[in-house]
Amino acid sequence: MDRTKIDLWVGIFAAISVAALLGLAMKVGNLTTTNIGDTYTVTAAFQNIGGLKPRSPVKSAGVVVGRVDSIQFDGATYEALVTLKLDKRYQFPTDTFANIYTAGLLGEQYIGLEPGGEEEFLKENDRIMQTQDAVVLEKMISQFLYSKATESND
């Protein structure tokens, strides 16, 4: 095996391996859309965030428009303060509604934004006032049982 041939084979090996790693990063890891270029930050307070985590997607009409940046507990109001990073390309009215939804029955939780009708748009560090909490299954079941029980008493 002479030197040029070995060089060639090692070159081919390195090239396809790096291509595979890049392919993993781009195609599988979806590096292109997880790093949303320019973002602006808005906050929203929820009474219960359920299973929401940092880096959970923020979707509007089913399209990912941002990610959850951080989640903190507000000791004064006893609410969860969620910071969202939204893509600069998308503007939302100030009366946008933020809901916590679950993708499918067992899927992960995400924030769904439903735009309202205001003329003004949310700016950096604005707060979304209208929010709806995550659905807690236990609560729903207990409410259902409770209403069933009162029904049968009538």
**Which residues make up the interface to another protein (CB under 8 A)?**
1, 3, 6-7, 9-10, 12-14, 16-18, 20-21, 23-25, 27-31, 33-34, 55, 57, 104, 106
- Give the integer Cα–Cα distance in Å for 99 and 72: 17
Minimum CB distance to another protein, residue 34 (Å)? 6
CB of 84 to another protein, least distance (A): 18
Among residues 93 and 112, whose Cβ is nearest to another protein?
112
Taking the least distance from each CB to another protein, the nearer of 28 and 76 is: 28
The distance of closest approach from Cβ of residue 20 to another protein in the complex, given in angstroms and rounded to an integer, is: 4
Nearer to another protein, 35 or 150 (CB): 35
Q: How many residues are present in the chain? A: 154
Query: Residue 75 or residue 104: which is nearer to another protein going by CB?
Result: 104
Q: HEC states along 54-101?
A: CCCEEEECCEEEEEEEEEEEECCCCEEEEEEEEECCCCCECCCEEEEE
Burial class, 16, CB count within 10 angstroms (exposed 0-12 / middle 13-18 / buried 19+): exposed
